[in-house]
Amino acid sequence: MADELKPVLELLIAAPRGFCAGVDRAIRIVELAIEKHGAPVYVRHEIVHNKFVVDTLKAKGAVFVEELDQVPDGLPVVFSAHGVPKSVPAAAAARGLSYLDATCPLVSKVHRQAERLVAAGRHIVFIGHAGHPEVVGTFGQVPPGSMTLVETIADAETLVPADPDTLSFLTQTTLSVDDTAAVVAALRRRFPAIQAPRGEDICYATSNRQAAVKAIASSCDALLVIGAPNSSNSLRLVEVAERQGVPALLIQRAADLDLDWLVGIGTLGITAGASAPEMLVRELVERLAERYEVIEREEETTRETIAFKLPRELDAAA
């Protein structure tokens, strides 16, 4: 009887959303490392930027630290999906630590491109966000001074390279597709000889999730993104919605949502960043269903089938 009094809220759920193949693989690496070596297994940096994932792995025996010198001698350590500078595995090897690298293969691909370009005498313009661990890791693949960070169009407009004829650009994998295109356009206009990467550096998961939000935005009064405040790809999803004129909010868990934010909203879009598990989407829908008569609809823009292989040493444990 009480249900009849609930207001109706239509939920338009974007697909693809949530976990990507790189996040799936990184989490599996930590789980299998715990199975193989026993707890504790140390993880340098959050394995992926999601508190729920980190807390779940902590409960299974993972210990998260920011630096390698916090890992005790003799215990295994996993490097996060964002990638690490070369100095980190080198320091682990020097200490005789057993380590597993959970760097997403699509980030590793950018690392290898950076090395090849520098070996070929190119100077790299790297489009990314200062301080993000992926950017720190990519800069750490090449000697200091061989890569310059560009974050914005303004940076591209004021860049003064030593030799404009030897420039190549690479990008972080989790950027805004539209913002990056604008930065690249500014670079190409100023430096017509600049070389582009062989393939797109922004990864399939980042671009698919942004396209899925664009596809539902015009049908939504507001959009919720489930993700962490330090998750680059989640923050970009908020921006994509806002640029389509749709108010958007990033929340980590359903309990974070102030239901007053939904006043006047008939259709609510929902998505999740690449490091947020589907369980958090279901938790949100359940919370909304306590207050509203929810009508769920999913709009799928593309189907993802990508899966990445585990490191060989863990294959047998899988």
Q: What does the binding site for ligand SF4 look like in residue numbers (CB under 6 A)?
A: 20-23, 81, 104, 106-107, 173-174, 203, 205-206, 233, 274
Positions of E strands within the chain: 8-15, 41-44, 62-65, 77-79, 99-101, 123-127, 147-150, 167-171, 222-226, 248-251, 267-272, 293-300
Q: Which residues contact 210 (CB under 8 A, 6 or more apart)?
A: 176, 177, 236, 237, 240
Shortest distance (Å) from residue 301 CB to ligand SF4: 17
Residue 83 near residue 105 (C-beta atoms within 8 A): no
**Catalytic annotation, residues:** 134
Shortest distance (Å) from residue 84 CB to ligand SF4: 14
Give the three-class secondary structure for 268.
strand
Which three-class secondary structure string do you get for 79-122? ECCCCCCCHHHHHHHHCCCCEEECCCHHHHHHHHHHHHHHHCCC
Is the CB of 191 or the CB of 271 nearer to ligand SF4?
271
Is the CB of 23 or the CB of 213 nearer to ligand SF4?
23
Query: Residue 173: which of 31, 275, 246 has the closest Cα?
Result: 275
Is the CB of 41 or the CB of 104 nearer to ligand SF4?
104
Is the CB of 114 or the CB of 167 nearer to ligand SF4?
114
- In this structure, what is the dihedral angle of CA atoms 88, 92, 93, 99, given to the nearest 10 degrees? -100
Residue 294 near residue 285 (C-beta atoms within 8 A): yes
> Buried b vs exposed e over 172-196: b needs ≥16 C-beta within 10 Å?
bbbbbeebbeebbebbeeebeebbe
Shortest distance (Å) from residue 26 CB to ligand SF4: 7
Shortest distance (Å) from residue 138 CB to ligand SF4: 11
Give dist(CA 102, CA 108) in Å, integer.
10
Is the CB of 53 or the CB of 268 nearer to ligand SF4?
53
Give me the phi and psi of 150, to 5 degrees please. Answer: -125, 120
Is the CB of 52 or the CB of 261 nearer to ligand SF4?
52
Shortest distance (Å) from residue 203 CB to ligand SF4: 3
Which residue has its beta carbon closest to ligand SF4? 22
Shortest distance (Å) from residue 223 CB to ligand SF4: 19
Give dist(CA 59, CA 43) in Å, integer.
13
